[in-house]
């Protein structure tokens, strides 16, 4: 299957030699004169997408929703109607005609909002939570939740609950995934289970990043430099080079650097936490010998060399752990002198100072090298049928080290090393039948993963010399080899010109082979998977899951610009084994998750599409939830286990509104209301039935206003304000208040001045205007380490930017 792109190219060449080029089919037609990428428009639910310019009289208002499938969306403004036309379902259609709930935003809007990575993006995406999760995974590890569905642990064999795609390629490793967003054309967030039109099945939804593609027609480029708070220097550039009438190359790069946000006052000079040090590059080659065939080959590389994330120990719990009490009473007095501390020093509240300066002296790193290559080929076989191949390989290698206790004592220090490889191959066949009344897509998907994680853990170092003579300085090796096979298909049949029925089905086969070995240094002992659990049962760490997941929807056009729909989708997430084997109790398998989602939606446009209003309601029935909780045994030793928590029901309402006024004013707003509750809990779960689901805020809001002032010489000024709000959010399953985020709001502002001809722009910006401190992740380790560990979003930052286009 890896040779499928070459095979498609060979077929395309033969077809060219034998037949004349047919006229483009209706279902894949796009407007002949597509505007440049800077004019493409899409929007989040409530997140504005203005490019810093007012729309022309016949330019479409920003869309509120779109759909992404296995092809690129080509959002264009149709001059005759002001509509937004997309090819999201292998045919040209209005974005308001697609019956699905989705958030979408352009790369230009991300820059205007000050968004430079996915973690910042989620603040303006209602119902979406993106952060780095557990601290031992580093500041660039992705933990993503949509509608309260996701995964709260990064270690293998845990699988993400939300799929992340870059140019249609699924990113299997969450490590290093929260890197810089460079040369982005758009980001889309699909809510609910995905699979009947996607390569990899995902239970909670999908986030799809689309980068800017080469242009065959002209040499062009752009560059920008920004400076600001904490000695920020951001440089980005991209150039498009037509090499021939059928070949074009695009090369882009981004470099982001800031100083640390907090200091380690006991560390060496200049040592701190919370900096940014990332460099990334991408090269894309497009070959389009005819209107029937194109081949895109791309390669990307990202280098991350940062310190530990911004945060650490935020609270000391006296008597929380008998192990810490033993160290305070019997071991730390012996080593205080060697650490340069006063004789009476202890591990207590004096070290719980994050996010201010911390006394940490242990591991302090977030170092990753990430690269990938892909080949995407499109071939039109007939006037009604097209074939697409997506072949890709990705590699993630690096490590993340953190001093979780924020003190000079070696109490909670870990370094996690990752060495992950994946190969994927996807084939899609799309077309139309019955006089274009039935549009369909079917496909095959294969992915092989080789994932490896090594952990160096210094935990309660010195405890073995106390009255609790246990050693927990451990080393681990986890290895996962997995194969994913899938066959999927979806079709839409026009029952009448207004009534449309869509049905889809996916067959999933997931094969997993997992090896896990934890061993301890001072008191040699080990726990392995495969192995024997505490009950004497043999745990075999191999599994095969065969699952069929359907999807269906029915939509009806009330008028030409109003649509109502109902949908059902089914998703699952593969099971696995607890990754941290601190004891025999930890050795266990957890079962696959399942989710059934029901949705009703309404999409409307008013006043010649100057106002759009969309709303949907949904219910998700969630079973076998996979959650990581930390429990202590009778000695106080940790039992961090992944377990099936039980069943939950999540209900919600999502809405967005967009208004475009003749005065050059744009207003947008979005809302997500989530009501999640556990319906049943399995034995051994450490929290009550009344607990709230993690990363599921009841209310999320976002809004924006931007105003364009056209000046007499053709130059212009644009002023923009973005706001977002999140209600109280629990960061872990036990709902510990100390690491819960209280309700908070964020404000961003930007003012720009663009010279005539739109080639040079000067801008000033501020992010987190009110300097709000808010948690992005938190973990309760009070019963094992007598502390709470948490990490924060970035504080207020000011800056300026100069950008040019040519």
Please write the tens of the pLDDT for every residue from 556-569: 999 999 999 999 99
Could you give the 3-state DSSP secondary structure of residue 663?
coil
| pLDDT beyond 90 at 69 | no
Nearest to 120 by CA among 100, 744, 128, 585: 128
Whether the CB-CB separation of 641 and 534 falls below 8 Å is answered with no
Higher per-residue pLDDT: 81 or 115: 115
Higher per-residue pLDDT: 226 or 118: 226
Q: What is the pLDDT of residues 716-728, one digit of tens each?
A: 999 999 999 999 9
| pLDDT beyond 60 at 695 | yes
Higher per-residue pLDDT: 644 or 1: 644
Name the one residue in this structure whose structure tokens are 């430099």. 225
State mean pLDDT over 585-608: 93
Nearest to 102 by CA among 668, 756, 616: 616
What's the pLDDT score for residue 16? 45
Residue 477 exposure: Cα atoms within 13 Å on the Cβ side: 5
State mean pLDDT over 530-540: 90
| pLDDT beyond 90 at 211 | yes
| pLDDT beyond 70 at 47 | no
What's the pLDDT score for residue 749? 95
Percentage of the residues of the chain whose pLDDT score is greater than 90 = 70
State mean pLDDT over 385-412: 96
Whether the CB-CB separation of 459 and 440 falls below 8 Å is answered with no
Per-residue pLDDT band for 382 (boundaries 50, 70, 90) equals very high
| pLDDT beyond 80 at 114 | no
Higher per-residue pLDDT: 235 or 97: 235
Per-residue pLDDT band for 182 (boundaries 50, 70, 90) equals confident
**Domain segments of the chain as ranges:** 4-314+352-805
For residue 350, count CB atoms less than 10 angstroms from its CB and return exposed for 0-12, middle for 13-18, buried for 19 or more: exposed
Q: How many residues does the chain have?
A: 806
Higher per-residue pLDDT: 451 or 16: 451
| pLDDT beyond 60 at 543 | yes
Higher per-residue pLDDT: 721 or 142: 721
| pLDDT beyond 80 at 297 | yes
Q: Which of 138-142, 164-168, 797-801 has the highest mean pLDDT?
A: 797-801
| pLDDT beyond 90 at 736 | yes
| Bridge partners, residue 792, by sequence | 775
Structure tokens at 451: 């994932």
Higher per-residue pLDDT: 275 or 58: 275
| pLDDT beyond 60 at 163 | yes
Whether the CB-CB separation of 316 and 349 falls below 8 Å is answered with yes
List all residues 6 or more positions away from 100 whose beta carbon is below 8 Å from its beta carbon.
65, 67, 190, 191, 553, 567, 601
Per-residue pLDDT band for 81 (boundaries 50, 70, 90) equals very low
pTM of the model as a whole: 0.87
Where is average pLDDT lowest: 51-65, 224-238, 406-420? 51-65
| pLDDT beyond 60 at 312 | yes
| Bridge partners, residue 554, by sequence | 501, 566
DSSP 8-state class, residue 18: H
Where is average pLDDT lowest: 12-26, 110-124, 774-788? 12-26
Listed in sequence order, the DSSP H helices in 117-234 are 118-121
Q: Give DSSP secondary structure letters for 565-611.
A: EEEEEEEEE--EE-S--SSGGG--EEPPEEEEEEEEEEEEEETTTTE
Q: What is the CA radius of gyration of the chain?
A: 27
Per-residue pLDDT band for 586 (boundaries 50, 70, 90) equals confident
Higher per-residue pLDDT: 612 or 110: 612
Where is average pLDDT lowest: 89-103, 145-159, 306-320, 643-657? 89-103
What's the pLDDT score for residue 109? 81
Structure tokens at 553: 């929807």
Nearest to 436 by CA among 21, 76, 23, 25: 25
Alpha-carbon span 647 to 652, nearest angstrom: 17
State mean pLDDT over 178-194: 87
Could you give the 3-state DSSP secondary structure of residue 270?
coil
What's the pLDDT score for residue 635? 54
Q: Give, in order, the Cα–Cα distances in Å from 318 to each of 352, 736, 783.
A: 12, 16, 10
Residue 26 exposure: Cα atoms within 13 Å on the Cβ side: 8
| pLDDT beyond 90 at 504 | yes
Neighbour-count burial for 411-433, b at 16+ CB within 10 Å, e otherwise:
bbbbbbbbbbbbebbbbbebbbe
Whether the CB-CB separation of 423 and 200 falls below 8 Å is answered with no
State mean pLDDT over 674-696: 91
Whether the CB-CB separation of 210 and 165 falls below 8 Å is answered with no
| pLDDT beyond 50 at 751 | yes
What's the pLDDT score for residue 21? 39
| pLDDT beyond 60 at 148 | yes
Whether the CB-CB separation of 283 and 239 falls below 8 Å is answered with no
Nearest to 119 by CA among 283, 305, 276: 276
CATH 2.40.170.20 fits 4-314+352-805, yes or no: yes
State mean pLDDT over 522-533: 92
Name the one residue in this structure whose structure tokens are 């352009």. 106
Average pLDDT, the chain: 87
Q: Give, in order, the Cα–Cα distances in Å from 371 to each of 166, 176, 187, 558.
A: 12, 11, 20, 47
**What element of type H or E holds 227?**
strand 220-228
What's the pLDDT score for residue 89? 53
Residue 501 exposure: Cα atoms within 13 Å on the Cβ side: 4
Given CA atoms 34, 36, 39, 41 in this order, what sign does their dihedral have? positive
Alpha-carbon span 347 to 341, nearest angstrom: 11
Name the one residue in this structure whose structure tokens are 């150039």. 239
Per-residue pLDDT band for 767 (boundaries 50, 70, 90) equals very high
State mean pLDDT over 439-463: 96
What's the pLDDT score for residue 96? 77
Neighbour-count burial for 723-754, b at 16+ CB within 10 Å, e otherwise:
bbbbeebbbbbbbbeebbbeebebebbbebbb
State mean pLDDT over 780-785: 92
What's the pLDDT score for residue 638? 66
List all residues 6 or more positions away from 570 whose beta carbon is below 8 Å from its beta carbon.
193, 549, 550, 551, 594, 595, 596, 597
What's the pLDDT score for residue 332? 97
């Amino acid at each position: 299957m890896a040779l499928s792109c070459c095979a498609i190219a060979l077929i395309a060449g033969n077809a060219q030699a034998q037949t004349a080029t047919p006229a483009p089919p209706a279902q894949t037609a796009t407007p002949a004169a597509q505007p440049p990428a800077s004019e493409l428009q899409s929007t989040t639910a409530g997140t504005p997408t203005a490019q810093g310019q007012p729309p022309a009289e016949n330019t479409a208002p920003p869309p509120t929703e779109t759909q992404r499938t296995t092809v690129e969306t080509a959002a264009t403004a149709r001059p005759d109607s002001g509509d937004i036309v997309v090819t999201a379902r292998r045919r040209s259609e209005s974005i308001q005609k697609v019956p699905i709930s989705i958030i979408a935003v352009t790369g230009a809007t991300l820059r205007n909002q000050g968004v430079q990575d996915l973690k910042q993006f989620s603040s303006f995406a209602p119902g979406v939570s993106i952060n780095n999760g557990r601290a031992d995974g580093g500041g660039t590890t992705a933990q993503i939740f949509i509608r309260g569905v996701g995964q709260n642990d990064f270690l293998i064999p845990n699988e993400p609950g939300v799929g992340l795609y870059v140019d249609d390629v699924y990113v299997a490793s969450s490590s290093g995934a929260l890197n810089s967003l460079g040369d982005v054309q758009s980001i889309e967030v699909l809510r609910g289970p995905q699979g009947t039109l996607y390569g990899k099945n995902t239970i909670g939804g999908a986030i799809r990043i689309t980068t800017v593609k080469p242009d065959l027609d002209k040499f062009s480029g752009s560059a920008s430099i920004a400076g600001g708070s904490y000695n920020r220097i951001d440089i980005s550039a991209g150039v498009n080079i037509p090499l021939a009438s059928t070949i074009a190359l695009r090369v882009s790069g981004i470099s982001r650097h800031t100083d640390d946000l907090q200091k380690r006052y006991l560390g060496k000079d200049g040592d701190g936490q919370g900096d940014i040090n990332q460099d990334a590059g991408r090269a894309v080659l497009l070959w389009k010998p005819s209107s029937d065939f194109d081949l895109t080959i791309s390669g990307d590389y990202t280098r991350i060399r940062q310190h530990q994330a911004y945060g650490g120990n935020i609270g000391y719990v006296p008597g929380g752990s008998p192990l810490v009490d033993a160290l305070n009473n019997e071991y730390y007095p012996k080593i205080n002198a060697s650490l340069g501390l006063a004789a009476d020093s202890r591990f207590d509240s004096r070290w719980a100072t994050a996010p201010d300066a911390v006394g940490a002296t242990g591991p302090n790193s977030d170092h990753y090298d990430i690269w990938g290559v892909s080949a995407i080929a499109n071939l039109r076989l007939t006037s009604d049928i097209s074939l697409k191949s997506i072949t890709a390989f990705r590699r993630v290698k690096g490590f993340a080290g953190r001093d979780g206790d924020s003190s000079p004592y070696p109490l909670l220090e870990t370094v996690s090393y990752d060495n992950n490889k994946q190969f994927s191959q996807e084939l899609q066949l799309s077309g139309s039948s019955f006089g274009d009344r039935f549009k369909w897509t079917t496909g095959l998907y294969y992915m092989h993963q080789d994932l490896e994680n090594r952990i160096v853990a210094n935990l309660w170092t010195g405890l073995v010399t106390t009255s609790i003579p246990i050693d927990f300085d451990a080393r681990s090796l986890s290895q996962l080899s997995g194969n994913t096979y899938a066959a999927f298909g979806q079709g839409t049949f026009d029952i009448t010109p207004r009534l449309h029925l869509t049905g889809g089905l996916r067959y999933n086969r997931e094969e997993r082979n997992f090896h896990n070995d934890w061993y301890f240094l001072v008191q040699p002992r080990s726990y392995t998977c495969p192995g024997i659990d505490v009950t004497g049962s043999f745990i075999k760490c191999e599994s095969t899951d065969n699952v069929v997941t359907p999807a269906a929807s029915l939509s009806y056009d009330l008028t030409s610009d109003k649509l109502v729909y109902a949908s059902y989708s089914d998703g699952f997430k593969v099971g696995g084994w607890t990754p941290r084997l601190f004891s025999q109790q930890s050795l266990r398998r957890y079962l696959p998750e399942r989710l059934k989602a029901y949705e009703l939606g309404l999409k409307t446009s008013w006043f010649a599409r100057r106002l759009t209003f969309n709303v949907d309601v949904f219910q998700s029935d969630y079973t076998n939830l996979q959650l990581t909780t930390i429990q202590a045994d009778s000695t106080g030793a940790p039992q961090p286990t992944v377990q099936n928590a039980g069943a939950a029901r999540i209900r919600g309402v999502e809405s967005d509104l967009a208004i475009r006024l003749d005065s050059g004013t744009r207003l947008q707003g979005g809302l997500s209301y989530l009501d999640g509750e556990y319906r049943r809990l399995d034995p051994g779960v450490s929290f009550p039935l009344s607990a709230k689901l993690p990363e599921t805020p009841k209310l999320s809001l976002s809004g924006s206003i931007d105003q364009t002032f056209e000046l007499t010489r053709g130059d212009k000024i644009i002023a923009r304000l973005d706001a977002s709000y999140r209600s109280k959010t629990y960061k872990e399953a036990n709902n510990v208040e100390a690491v819960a985020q209280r309700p908070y709001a964020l404000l961003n502002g930007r003012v720009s001045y663009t010279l005539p001809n739109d080639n040079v722009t000067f801008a000033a910006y501020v992010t987190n205007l009110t300097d709000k401190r808010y948690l992005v992740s938190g973990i309760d380790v009070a019963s094992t380490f007598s502390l709470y560990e948490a990490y924060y979003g970035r504080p207020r930052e000011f800056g300026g930017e100069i950008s040019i286009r040519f």
